[in-house]
Amino acid sequence: MKFLKAKIEDHPSIINLNNESVPHVNRISSKTLSDLHEQAIFSYVAVAADDTNPICEASDENVVGFLLALDESARYQSVNYQYFKQHYRSFIYVDRIIVSKTFHRRGIGSGLYQRLFETIGKRKPLICCEVNLQPPNPQSMQFHKEMGFTGVANQTTENGSKQVNLMIRQTESETV
């Protein structure tokens, strides 16, 4: 498995992975992804490498996961992002982390987070995210708890059709 900075050429694969994961994440359009990618402080894909393609560049066939994160300076209007912006001065917000269902439980999600922690996690005191409570996403909840996230609040969104647990993980940053 390789973790590479996401490029615009990866967007079709990212959109496919994302939209296969609805309702655990919101559907995303090409325009929205381009806008988020432009604002992102971190945007990586996980690429399946094999013996026939050890160097591997991202393509539709081998992008099996991605993580996109913003910091507090983004102009993002998501109500979940806005919660963190109102409550914390400095943070990294994981807007979405998705791994292809056929690649679950292979260390891809934790690998993407590890790359985030190593590359920018020391610059900010908190990493924030949300996990669906309604519709329930118990695998993501367990995964995020195992990654060291704890819940700080619940929030109902989308006219009451979704409820999320807003979560944070402290980093080793010296920024307060």
Taking only the tens place, the pLDDT of each residue in 35-47 is 999 999 999 999 9
What does the domain layout of the chain look like in residue ranges? Answer: 2-125
* pLDDT score of 49: 73
The answer to whether 159 and 134 have CB atoms below 8 angstroms apart is: no
Which superfamily does 2-125 belong to?
Answer: Gcn5-related N-acetyltransferase (GNAT) (3.40.630.30)
Taking only the tens place, the pLDDT of each residue in 158-172 is 899 999 999 999 987
Q: How far apart are CA 93 and CA 167, in angstroms?
A: 10
What is the average pLDDT across 118-135?
92
Backbone dihedral region of 120: left (phi > 0), alpha (psi from -120 to 50 degrees) or beta? alpha
Burial class of residue 99, CB neighbours in 10 A (0-12, 13-18, 19+): buried
Higher pLDDT, 134 or 61: 134
